[in-house]
Homo-oligomer: A and B are copies of this chain.
Amino acid sequence: MPDITDQRFTPHDHRRCIKAAVAEATRICNERNGRLTEQRKRVLELVWGSHQPIGAYTILEQLRSEGFNGAPPTVYRALEFLLDHGLIHRIESLNAYTGCSHPGDEHTGQFLICSRCHEVTELDDPAVSRAITHSSASIGFAATHQVIEIRGLCSHCQALPHDQ
């Protein structure tokens, strides 16, 4: 049964999400003297504007369609900045980027990727992190960073007929 409170499937003005994300990012960057330049902000908006993880070259295309006349390194640099400041995440198994749903604090999220609609939900369940840290430690491995990307069907898509 789909969770009708789920923002992704509730009719909502997504532009608000984007604005909120940018506002939050601005606050965070101010705090630590990171410069959220126009380009970086624009890339952040594009990442948030997509309901799915977005690739670097798709971002580049969109920038170009807006009159920007740049090359891949510009996009990768902006992405690097945003990653460094915890404002977006990279999804390794998709070579794509997605907005961080609670930026600011250091964390490596856990991502649920729907195989059908391709939306990504970020979880940050301490129980999962703990299980992994514990399991690693049991063989003497000191974990510093976790890549956790889960495939499956989101609640919304489970409720749909299979052939849709």
Please state if B127 and A112 are interface contacts (CB–CB under 8 Å): no
Q: Which residue of chain B has the shortest Cβ distance to A153 in the bound complex?
A: B142
Given contacts A121-B141, A154-B140, A158-B140, contact A93 B147 (CB under 8 A): yes
A146 CB contact (under 8 Å) in B1, B135, B150 = B150
Map CB proximity to B onto A111-134 as digits: 1 under 8 Å, 0 otherwise. 010110000010101011011101
Can you list 11 A-B contacts with CB-CB less than 8 angstroms, sorted by A residue number? A3-B139, A112-B143, A114-B141, A125-B135, A140-B158, A141-B150, A142-B152, A145-B151, A146-B148, A147-B148, A148-B148
A residues contacting B by CB (< 8 A) are 1-3, 92-93, 110, 112, 114-115, 121, 123, 125, 127-128, 130-132, 134-136, 139-155, 158
